Structure 1
Amino acid sequence: MSRPQTSHFLPLPPLSIRTPAPSYRKPTMVTTYSHQPDRTITHDDSSMTYYRAAPIGSDLNYGYDRRVERDESVDEHLDGLCDALREVRGPGQGERKGGIITWRGMMTKIMTAPYEDREGWEMTAIALDGSVYIELHDPPEVRARRRNQQAPYAKQSYMGYSFESFSTVSVHQEQEEDWPEGWGGDVNTNVQVSCSVVRSAIGDIPLCLGGEVDCVKAEPGLPHPGLDKCVELKTNKVIENEKQEFTFHKKLLKHWAQSWLLGIPEIQVGFRDDSGILRSQRGFETEKIPRFIASVPSPRPPWTPQPCLHFLYAVLQLVLTHALPTDPLIRHPSGSVHPEDPLPAATVWRFSFIPRRGCEMYKVGEVGVDEGGRWGGMLKEDYVRWRMG
C-alpha cells in the first residue's frame, strides 16, 4: 500500500512547557490473565509471582545456557488484551467508549517521545465499536532488523530476566537442590508473563491498557492483591561517576512512564557490576520519581513530565479525531452483519514519530480480512464479529 499525500502533522511541545498538563486518572483493574508455556492464555493468575528481595551477590549470568526465549518473529498483535476484554465484557465492565485500547508499551513510546532523539516508530490505528485500537506497526523485516541489532546485547538483556528470577517466588515452581540462593527458576519468557488490564484516562480520553506485571507483594499462594501491591523490576549497571548517574536519571523516565501508566506503585532496581554480580538494590515510589528528578542538582533536569503528558494527550486526540468517525459500526449497526456475510472493511490509519520533530498521521486505506484471518491486518476475525454482533 502506497503512502497517501494527505497527512496531519503534530509538532512536539517545547520541553520548557509549563502550562498545566492533562491529568492522568489513577488506573483501576479490569482483569488479569496468564500466558502458558505454549503461549496460550488462561484467565487466571497462574503465572503471577511474588516479590522477595534478591540476595546481594547473586550472579545474574546464572542459567543463561538453559534459557527459553519466546519466538519474537510471531506477532501476537493485541490478541491477549482482546481475549481478556471478551472474557469480562458486561455492563460497566471492559473499556469505556470513545477512547483507546492498546498495550501499555504503545502509550510509553508516545509519552516518552519528547525526549527521544534517535529512534522513530510507527503505529497502526483502527476504530471498532466506539474505540480505537492501536498497535505497533512491526512488519517481519523490521522485527528481523531489531533482533540483529539486539543480538550483541543478549547477555545484558538476560540479566534483567535473571534478576526477576532471583527476586520472585512462584507457587508452581519447585526448588531444586543445586540452585543458588534465591533462584526462582530458569528463565522462560513464554510463560513468565502475568498481565493486567486496566482502565484509566488522560484528560477526557478513556484508556484501556494491557501490560505485563513482574510480581506482587503478598504471601505466596494468596490471591492477586491488586494494583497497589504490584512491583516492577529493573536492572542497571553500578553507578560510579556523574555521567553514569545522569544516564540512569534519563532512564528513569521510561521506568516511571511504564509503571505510572499501568498503576504500579513501586520499582525495584538491581545494580550489577560489569561481571553481572548484583551489588545493591534500591526501591523507588513511582509517583515520587518526577520530584526526585527535579531535586537533582543540575542546571536543567534531564526530563519533566509536562511535555510527556501534553504530547500523549495531543497524539491520542489526533488519532481519535480522524479514526473514530471511520468505525464500521456507524455504517453497519450492531447485528446488521450476519455470520455468513463478509465483514465490512476496516479503515486503517498510521501515525509515525519523527525524532525531534513530531508525529504525522495518515490514512492507509480500506483493508478487509487478510490471509491470516485478521481484520485490517490487526484484529482476529472472530473478535470483530463478536463486537459487531
Structure 2
Amino acid sequence: MSTESNTIELKIDKQFLTAQKFPYFSKPQIIGEYFVNKDRSIQIGRMAAKNLNDTPLRNPRGVSAPNFDLDAGFSAFDPKDPGERLEILQKWCEKMAPAGGRLRKLLHGAEFFTWRGLLTKIGAAVYAASGDTWRFRAFRIHGVVFMCEEETEDKTRKMEAQTDREKHMTYWGHKFEQYMTLDDGMDLPDTTQPVSTREEFATVIRTTLECSQSNRRQPLELFYSAEIDCLDRDGKYVELKTNKGDLRGWFWTAGAKSLKWWLQSFLVAIDYLVVGHRDDHGIVTRVSSIQTAQLQKQSQWYGGAAIRLISQVLTQLSDFLPNENQACVVEFGGGDGENTIRFSRCSEDLCDFVPEEFRRKFW
C-alpha cells in the first residue's frame, strides 16, 4: 500500500490472495426478513415471500420439458427505481426500533452496514476483467460505517449505450423468476401479469469475518441485506439464475459469472441455485439445480481469495475512518487504476445516504 495526504491505495495481489488459507467467515446469521411492497414500504416477516415452483426440476412422467419464453411481457416491465440507495434497509431499522436508540445494539454489534451486492463486487474484483469499475462512498456515524455504492462514469456510459437486445436480456432473468415462483396456495405460476421488481423479499444478515491484519485482534462485524428469490419446500432460500446453454467452458473460468453466483449465495448461506438453460432467443428448455459448494469445486477461481479481498478492503476502511463523521470514496479500476482500490477522503456532505432524521433517531 502507498499513502499520501488524504489517499490510500490498496494493490490487489492475486498471487498472494490465492496462496492464503480461506479466511474465517462465520455462517451468516439471519436476524430479520422483510417484504418490500410496490410503494416501497416494508412488511416484516416472510409471509409474502414467493415459493419455488419445483415442478420443472422434478419433471414427473407425462410432463414435457419447459418452454419458457423469457421475452414475454417485456413491454409491460415495471422496474424499481435504480437510484435507490440504503433507504429500504434504514426503513427496516426504524421498523425494528421505532423509538430509536443505540445503533450498534440494533445491528447486533456490527460495524459495517451495506447491501450484499456491494460485497459481491468487492470480492469479485480479485478476478475482475479488464475495464471493470465500481465506486462507493463510506461514512462513519454512531460507530457504524455505512457503505453506499454509486454509479461510475463508465457504468453510466454503458447503460446509456445499451442496445435493445441488451435491455431484453436484462429482463430475461426477472421473467424466469416469475415462471419459477408461486404465491401461497398456487399450484402454477401466473405468468400473465406484468413482471415487476418493485416488490421483493429480503433477508437481513449479521456475520463475522477475519480481519486481514494480524496485529488487529477484533474481527470484522458485518450487517447487510440481500434480496431472496424464493423459498423451497423446507423454507430454505433459493437463488434463481439463467444461463445460455449448459454450465461449461468459460462459465468456470476466473472472472466469469460462476464466481459472482457463488459469492451471492455464499454470503447469505444459500445451499443451492436453480438454473434456467436458455437459447439465444430467450427460450428456456431445461431447468437444473447446482449446489453452491459445487460452483467452487469445479471452478478455476478460489473463493477464499475473494473473501480475503473483502476483508482487506473492510479492514483498510475501518482504519481509514477511525473517527465519527469521517467519510471517503472508494474506487476500483478504470484507466491507471487497474488492479488498484483507491480510498480518498471526502466531505460528509457528499454522504447524504444517511438522512439527518435517521442520524438523530439513533445514537
Shorter-chain TM-score category? 0.7 to 0.9
- Structure 1 pair 184/25, CA: closer, same or farther in 2 (3 Å)? farther
Report the Cα distance in structure 2 between the residues aligned to 1:115 and 1:171, rounded to whole angstroms. Answer: 40
**Aligned residues between the structures:** 333
What TM-score, normalized to structure 1? Answer: 0.78
Aligned partner of 1:205 in structure 2 is 220
Aligned partner of 1:77 in structure 2 is 85
Aligned partner of 1:387 in structure 2 is 362
Q: Is the 8 A contact 1:121 1:352 kept in 2?
A: yes
- Structure 1 pair 62/349, CA: closer, same or farther in 2 (3 Å)? same
State the secondary structure of the residue aligned to 2:308: helix
**Match runs of 1:6-85 below 5 Å:** 6-15=6-15, 17-45=18-46, 47-53=48-54, 54=56, 56-72=66-82, 75-85=83-93
Q: Is the 8 A contact 2:52 2:233 kept in 1?
A: yes
Cα deviation, 1:211-240, whole Å, max 9, x if unaligned, reads 100000138xxxxx3xxx000000010149
Whether 1:138 and 2:138 are equivalent positions in the alignment is no
State the secondary structure of the residue aligned to 1:278: strand
Aligned partner of 2:229 in structure 1 is 214
Identity of aligned residues (%): 23
Gaps of 5+ in 1: 176-180, 220-224, 294-300, 328-345, 371-375
Report the Cα distance in structure 1 between the residues aligned to 2:31 and 2:110, rounded to whole angstroms. Answer: 17
**Match runs of 1:183-332 below 5 Å:** 183=191, 185-191=193-199, 193-203=200-210, 204-218=219-233, 225=235, 229-239=236-246, 243-246=249-252, 250-293=256-299, 301=300, 303-323=301-321, 325-327=322-324
Question: What code does the residue aligned with 1:353 have?
Answer: F
Distance apart, 1:167 and its partner CA: 0.3
Report the Cα distance in structure 1 between the residues aligned to 2:157 and 2:144, rounded to whole angstroms. Answer: 32
Which segment is superposed worse, 102-111 or 27-36?
27-36
**Match runs of 1:171-182 below 5 Å:** 171=184
- Structure 1 pair 245/257, CA: closer, same or farther in 2 (3 Å)? closer
State the secondary structure of the residue aligned to 1:65: helix
Distance apart, 1:143 and its partner CA: 6.8
Task: Please point out which of 366, 378, 381 is paired with 2:353.
Answer: 378
- Structure 1 pair 319/35, CA: closer, same or farther in 2 (3 Å)? same
Report the Cα distance in structure 2 between the residues aligned to 1:267 and 1:85, rounded to whole angstroms. Answer: 29
Report the Cα distance in structure 2 between the residues aligned to 1:37 and 1:150, rounded to whole angstroms. Answer: 26
Q: Report the RMSD for the aligned CA atoms in angstroms.
A: 2.8
Report the Cα distance in structure 2 between the residues aligned to 1:28 and 1:40, rounded to whole angstroms. Answer: 24
**Match runs of 1:313-352 below 5 Å:** 313-323=311-321, 325-327=322-324, 346-352=325-331
Aligned partner of 2:59 in structure 1 is none
What TM-score, normalized to structure 2? Answer: 0.83
State the secondary structure of the residue aligned to 1:326: coil
Task: Please point out which of 97, 105, 118 is paired with 2:109.
Answer: 97
- Structure 1 pair 109/217, CA: closer, same or farther in 2 (3 Å)? same
State the secondary structure of the residue aligned to 2:314: helix
Task: Please point out which of 107, 121, 126 is paired with 2:119.
Answer: 107
Report the Cα distance in structure 2 between the residues aligned to 1:96 and 1:194, rounded to whole angstroms. Answer: 21
Report the Cα distance in structure 2 between the residues aligned to 1:30 and 1:138, rounded to whole angstroms. Answer: 29
State the secondary structure of the residue aligned to 1:111: helix
State the secondary structure of the residue aligned to 1:114: helix
